[in-house]
Amino acid sequence: MSNRIVALILAAVFSAGILSAQTNDSVLSTSGVETGSSDEKFLDKIEYDSILYFVREMNPANGLIKDSSRPGSPASVAAAGFGLTAICVGESRGWIARDDAYYLVLKILKTFRDNVPNERGFFYHFLDMRTGNRAWNSEVSSIDTALFLAGALFAGEYYKGSEAEAIAKELYERVEWPWMLNGKKILCMGWKPEEGFLRYYWDSYSEAMILYALAIGSPTYPIPAECWFEWKRPVDSYKDYKVIYCTTGSIFTYQYSHAWIDFRELYEGDTNYFNNSISAVKANRQFCIDNSGLYKTYGENSWGLSACLGPEGYRGYGAKPGEAFNDGTVPPCGIAGSFPFDPIASLNGLKRLYTDHKDFLYGKYGFKDAFNLDKNWWAEEYLGIDVGITVLMVENYRSGLVWDKFMSIAPIENWTLACFAKRE
């Protein structure tokens, strides 16, 4: 543990649930962001600024990370998963010293092991930033637990042979995945102590592939591999793009599982989910181009409709195929999270948003959550999961770091062997 980290923690002021904007700042170096081409510098800037979120919006006493930059926000279990991964990315690029990054990772993992309540290994969706206890009467969330564990296992693999790896495995191996089936062949979305299992299940294509992968690959409490084939795979097309689609049409559903899992060589019969996401991304962009006459926010460089903040609050925006609820709101993370699938369109989109709207749309943690030109609305805050998908997918496009580490984890290898054919 570095002396400056200890000093920061001892000196940190954490009152009324609000973190100082300077908390943990000294772990980030200002070097390493000035080399390479102009495009590389731009991507460095986006990643570096976005990683700042997970350093500054962390409680230094326990490692919990805020769901949102909004004052008083609770912690988010999913944000911690993205944060664990982003911190390692920062270390890999030389922006965080290795000892400092490891200390932050270990702090998060120990808190989740020792101080955060769980139900058969599953965590509540939102947590009190101080105590780690359940916040907002939230549910025990299967998908948010999975996103946290994906980050934990990645961090463990990144620091292979360390205490961090041992704790990550401990957290993963204590999860009783069959319990979340609730007697069915598909996983439930969650559980509440007041009412039991929720009515909703992961029964159709969605962001939940990472959840099923972890549950099937578990060395301690696995669910049957057959469960992978139980969720529906609806197919529809928009223009020239045929997609196994999520009903909302939100682009994040084609990104989240891919943030850790490299689907490029995994085939389910003739289906390849990486190629499916390519089609979904192109369809989303084409939908925005086609509707640019209705909403001036939309266009060839302004697309990526996804669940995000909007003029009326958080909304499940999306494009075709799917329900395609939309009102002209665009989240930059929808473009950033698409980098591996359409790098040219993603780079051009982010560059145009930065050039045209940086005074309102870009701030201390990179791109803010969303904007809507038709309603002259600009988000003032950042969401941890949206900042997180930006870091992970830009990094996967640039180096494949997250994919390379995560795919070498034994339970993930076991899941791929059980559910996919690999083509050489």
Say if residue 33's pLDDT is above 80: no
Task: Give the CA distances from residue 341 to residues 184, 281, 338, 398, 408, in Å, rounded to whole numbers and listed in that order.
Answer: 34, 7, 5, 12, 22
CB-neighbour burial class of residue 6 (10 A; exposed 0-12, middle 13-18, buried 19+): exposed
Cα torsion angle, 134, 136, 138, 143, sign = negative
* Structure tokens that stand for 390 in this block: 């930006």
Query: Which tens digits make up the pLDDT trace of 125-173?
Result: 999 999 999 999 999 999 999 999 999 999 999 999 999 999 999 999 9
Amino acid, single-letter form, for residue 297:
T
Instruction: Using the Cα atoms of residue 301, residue 305, residue 310 and residue 311 in order, give the sign of their dihedral.
Output: positive
Average pLDDT, the chain: 93
Confidence class for position 421, pLDDT limits 50, 70, 90: confident
The percentage of residues in the chain with a pLDDT greater than 70, rounded to a whole number, is: 91
Give residue 177's Cα distance to chain centre.
21
- Exposed / middle / buried, residue 86 (Cβ in 10 Å: 0-12, 13-18, 19+): buried
Q: What is the mean pLDDT of residues 211-219?
A: 98
**What is the spatial distance between Cα 46 and Cα 29, in angstroms, rounded to a whole number?**
15
pLDDT per position as a tens digit, 293-324: 999 999 999 999 999 999 999 999 999 999 99
pLDDT at 79: 98
Mean pLDDT of 281-297: 98
Question: Among residues of the chain, what percentage have pLDDT more than 90?
Answer: 90
Amino acid at 127: L
- pLDDT of amino acid 99: 97
Q: Looking at the predicted structure, is the pLDDT value of residue 344 above 80?
A: yes
HEC letters along the chain = CCHHHHHHHHHCCEECCEECCCCCHHHECCCCCCCCCHHHHHHHHHHHHHHHHHHHCECCCCCCEECECCCCCCEEHHHHHHHHHHHHHHHHCCCECHHHHHHHHHHHHHHHHHCCCEECCEEECEECCCCCCECCCCCEEHHHHHHHHHHHHHHHHHCCCCHHHHHHHHHHHCCCHHHHHCCCCCCECEEECCCEECCCECCECCCCHHHHHHHHHCCCCCCCHHHHHCCECCEEEECCEEEECCCCCCHHHHCCHHHCCCCCCEEECCECHHHHHHHHHHHHHHHHHHCCCCCCCCECCECCCCEEEECCEEEECCCCCCCCCCCCCECHHHHHCCCCCCHHHHHHHHHHHHHHHHHHHEECCEECCCEECCCCEECCCCEHHHHHHHHHHHHHHHCCHHHHHHCCCHHHHHHHHHHCEECC
Give the sign of the dihedral formed by CA 201, CA 207, CA 209, CA 215.
negative
Which of 36-50, 97-111, 231-245 shows the lowest mean pLDDT across its residues? 36-50
pLDDT at 19: 27
Structure tokens at 197: 């299992």
pLDDT in tens, 372-395: 999 999 999 999 999 999 999 999
| Structure confidence by residue, pLDDT tens digits, 351-378 | 999 999 999 999 999 999 999 999 999 9
Cα separation, 236 vs 128, in Å, equals 41
Which amino acid would we find at residue 77? V
- Tell me if 126 sits within 8 A of 135, measured CB to CB: yes
Mean pLDDT of 331-344: 98
Please enumerate in sequence order all residues whose Cβ is within 8 A of that of 91, keeping only pairs 6 or more positions apart, or say none.
97, 98, 100, 101, 102
Residue 141 φ/ψ region, left for φ over 0, alpha for ψ in the -120 to 50 degree band, beta for the rest: beta
- Which of 9-23, 57-71, 318-332, 344-358 bottoms out in mean pLDDT, i.e. has the lowest? 9-23
Structure-token pair, residue 392: 């992970």
242-280 tens-digit pLDDT: 999 999 999 999 999 999 999 999 999 999 999 999 999
Top pLDDT among 37 and 316 is at 316
